[in-house]
Structure 1
Amino acid sequence: MASGWLAARKRVSELLEPQQRNDKLGDLVDFLLVVLIVTNVLAVMASTVNSIDAQYGQWLFAYEVFSVGIFTIEYVLRVWSSVEHENPALPKWKARLSYATSPMAVIDLLAILPFYLSLFFNLDLRFLRIIRLIRVAKLGRYSGAMQLLYDVFRREFKVLTAALLWLVVLMVIASSGIYLIEHQVQPDKFGSIPQAMWWAMATLTTVGYGDVTPITPLGKFFGGTITVISMAMVALPAGILASSFSEQLRKRRDTFSAKVIEAFADGVLSAKELHELEKLRKTLGLERQDAEALFNLIQKERTTKLVKTCPHCGKSVEGHE
């Protein structure tokens, strides 16, 4: 009986975690969940149109109940089967708690929690509709690009935090400076430093709404200086993300290439090895075209090493590694 539960738990983990398997049933589960998430988001958007809500409100609510039921079952199964891919050294309850506090699990919980809260508390329906839109974040689990972007944010969190901290410091300096320069001539717009922060934020982000602008020569000069400085500061996080994104993609390609070389080591590429390579490709979030290009390049390099050309007659001779 215990072995049956273990087998069932392992199979559930394989079906719900895209990186854990490579089979048609798992792909079908992914497709159905993606369709459910997308249609939920569309339903929420449609419910904000008064005419649609008045005519189809009951149907939309029924679909919401159905969706919450499916998402609840999915969440419970994910937490239950998480011991299959969490740290095996942890006790089962700690492994499940570790998964339940992960970013994607928290998003899964937030996707269903508002519905259950509305059963016990009198909450604003507009608030619930907007909160339900968080379900779109669940799509990140099924997108290799989103997973890659998440890894970039996670790895560069400290650097990005430092860059954003400098932007906050610069905003305080800019709002303080413009307050000292402009508060006497424009007390309604720059009457205090907190009030001047709106201008500083719009200027530092290079948005420049134009509703609040300095009018004194010194204020214009100061505003221009802040604008020039902000262009470099705002570009800093973008540069960090772009560099890290490229580096992470290179590392993933190197990992896949190393696995392909390892598979070619015995000279024969078995069906099991092809299955493992496809599974690794999905785990790393590589596009099939990129993986095939790397595969063909490694295969060509290996063929070039094995087939050598005689320097005298120019004919090919078989070499050995």
Structure 2
Amino acid sequence: MTKTGGRNLNRVRAKVFNMVSTGVVDQPINKLYDILSIIALILNLFAAFAITFDYMEEHYKGLLLAIEAVTTFFFAIDYVLRLFTAKELYPKLSEKDSVIKYIFSFAGLVDLLSFLPYYLPVFFPAGTTVFRLFRVARILRLFRINSYYDQLNVITEVLSSKKQQLTASVFIILILMMASSLCMYSVEHDAQPEVFQNAFSGIWWSVSTLLTVGYGDIYPVTIAGKMLGILISFLGVGMVAIPTGIISAGFVEQYQKLKAVGQFAEEENIHFIRIKLGEEDSWNGKRISEIGFPKDMIVVSIQRENDTIIPRGDVVLRVGDVVALCAEKAKDLQPIELREITINEGHSWNGVAIKDLDISRQSHIFLIRRNGEAIIPRGSVVINAGDVILLQDKYKRVII
């Protein structure tokens, strides 16, 4: 493949990746695809549940089967597109490795099970019942809606950040379950040999007791067993409280993080910027007072080699200085909004000069970061793939 052909393929792949990525709505076709994906999923789940009712199956079976066929075919096309764009999802891997990683990822397995069990009975009629069971995986596609709602996405973030603590608490619960089962066997075996036959016979009892379910089909009858059951019940309340407390603390931390810096994504709201001045930066040799910063934007500090310089109006900037900027809070304690946008191959701004961009009159490009260097935006500057654009909304004020 020629270099030009490879570049065109990468650009097409980037555009398709933006289209199939939930929540990327910078182009009408991307938003339309998201809407179609949600509608297809809702219709598919509706058909799967509705056909279980006798009345619906009797009167609308043909329609429900048609809905399932069309939406499942849509899931198959979506899976193929995601295989094609796997390189964009894992840019640091080779094309082959990125495809393999997507196939065996949780999202990839859910996407595969969303359509494959529907077609497998054609080749293996005997396994129809088992294949139908795997269609439940389609429900897991609902988690993609998390991309639209931070509140829903917090759940997965909390479980991921607290997985070590949760694993430790589950390990403790398992130890207590085995210990309580062995203890109950020791005191109850003689009185109930048919119930507590061996050390593992009390596992079900210990689970229902420690997790405060209290099913009641297995219970101690001796005085020692009842006293032991009371003690284990108290331990069960504490054991359930441990993972509950971990998750609750994780929710508080995550919401504080979201409130402070926003949710990191392809486009994110920021308050602080660090810029290292290169030799070609127009700020070199200028005093801070001579640089036209936007209103409410201030210089926090200047790092020059091993020294930290307190910024004053007469301080002259030099090559190699690391300038820290932030959005100063106004009287209403609401900072101005800055957005950091990473330009990829399929972005509509790629290869377009700043003067030709269709940007709202209430917004302007404040800075461009390219390969670690800061570029002052001018009308003739052409935006390239990989550039990080700092966009300021002049009048809009939000709390991050």
TM value normalised by structure 1:
0.76
Residue 303 (structure 1) aligns with:
none
After TM superposition, which residue ranges in structure 1, 4 or more long, deviate above 6 angstroms?
none
- 2:250 aligned with 1:244, yes or no? yes
CA shift in 2, pair 1:46/1:195, >3 Å: farther
Judge conservation of contact 2:158–2:247 (CA < 8 Å) in 1. Answer: yes
CA shift in 2, pair 1:249/1:4, >3 Å: same
CA shift in 2, pair 1:42/1:194, >3 Å: farther
* Aligned-pair CA distance for 1:295: 4.8
Q: How many angstroms apart in 1 are the aligned matches of 2:138 and 2:29?
A: 23
1:130-141 equivalences under 5 Å are 130-141=133-144
1:144-163 equivalences under 5 Å are 144=149, 145-163=151-169
SS for the counterpart of 1:195 is coil
Q: Which structure 2 residue ranges, 5 or more long, are not aligned?
A: 274-291, 297-335, 343-395
- 2:199 aligned with 1:193, yes or no? yes
Once structures 1 and 2 are overlaid, which stretch shifts more, 46-55 or 132-141? 46-55
What CA RMSD, in Å, does the superposition of the two structures yield over aligned residues? 2.9
**Aligned partner (choices 65, 73, 79) of residue 75 of structure 1:** 79
CA shift in 2, pair 1:148/1:96, >3 Å: farther
CA shift in 2, pair 1:297/1:135, >3 Å: closer
* Aligned-pair CA distance for 1:10: 1.3
* Aligned-pair CA distance for 1:73: 0.5
- 2:33 aligned with 1:29, yes or no? yes
Q: How many angstroms apart in 2 are the aligned matches of 1:52 and 1:275?
A: 52
Judge conservation of contact 1:40–1:67 (CA < 8 Å) in 2. Answer: yes
Q: How many angstroms apart in 2 are the aligned matches of 1:61 and 1:275?
A: 49
Identity over aligned pairs, percent: 28
Amino acid at match of 1:261: H
Judge conservation of contact 1:22–1:275 (CA < 8 Å) in 2. Answer: no
Judge conservation of contact 2:120–2:131 (CA < 8 Å) in 1. Answer: no
* Aligned-pair CA distance for 1:214: 1.2
Judge conservation of contact 2:159–2:247 (CA < 8 Å) in 1. Answer: yes
Amino acid at match of 1:62: A
Residue 181 (structure 2) aligns with:
175
* CA displacement, residues 203-230 of structure 1 (integer Å, 9 cap, x when unaligned): 1110101222212111111111101001
* Aligned-pair CA distance for 1:275: 9.0
Once structures 1 and 2 are overlaid, which stretch shifts more, 134-143 or 55-64? 55-64
* Aligned-pair CA distance for 1:6: 2.7
Q: Which structure 1 residue ranges, 5 or more long, are not aligned?
A: 280-293, 299-321
- 2:221 aligned with 1:215, yes or no? yes
- 2:68 aligned with 1:64, yes or no? yes
- 2:132 aligned with 1:122, yes or no? no
Judge conservation of contact 1:71–1:112 (CA < 8 Å) in 2. Answer: yes
CA shift in 2, pair 1:19/1:54, >3 Å: closer
Once structures 1 and 2 are overlaid, which stretch shifts more, 120-129 or 137-146? 120-129
Once structures 1 and 2 are overlaid, which stretch shifts more, 207-216 or 223-232? 207-216
CA shift in 2, pair 1:253/1:97, >3 Å: farther
Residue 294 (structure 2) aligns with:
267
* CA displacement, residues 169-190 of structure 1 (integer Å, 9 cap, x when unaligned): 1111111111111122222322
How many residues of Structure 1 are paired with residues of Structure 2 in the alignment?
279
* Aligned-pair CA distance for 1:268: 6.1
Between 1 and 2, higher relative CO (CA 8 Å, sep ≥ 6) is seen in 1
* Aligned-pair CA distance for 1:165: 1.2
* Aligned-pair CA distance for 1:241: 1.6
Amino acid at match of 1:267: P
* Aligned-pair CA distance for 1:48: 2.4
TM value normalised by structure 2:
0.62
* Aligned-pair CA distance for 1:278: 9.4
Once structures 1 and 2 are overlaid, which stretch shifts more, 143-152 or 213-222? 143-152
Amino acid at match of 2:235: I
Judge conservation of contact 1:44–1:132 (CA < 8 Å) in 2. Answer: no
Judge conservation of contact 2:195–2:201 (CA < 8 Å) in 1. Answer: yes
* CA displacement, residues 89-140 of structure 1 (integer Å, 9 cap, x when unaligned): 3212112222222221221112122123222213454443332122111111
* CA displacement, residues 285-312 of structure 1 (integer Å, 9 cap, x when unaligned): xxxxxxxxx95458xxxxxxxxxxxxxx
Once structures 1 and 2 are overlaid, which stretch shifts more, 228-237 or 7-16? 7-16
Judge conservation of contact 2:181–2:199 (CA < 8 Å) in 1. Answer: yes
CA shift in 2, pair 1:227/1:295, >3 Å: farther
Higher strand share: 2
* Aligned-pair CA distance for 1:54: 4.2
Residue 98 (structure 2) aligns with:
95
Judge conservation of contact 1:13–1:20 (CA < 8 Å) in 2. Answer: no
Residue 108 (structure 2) aligns with:
105
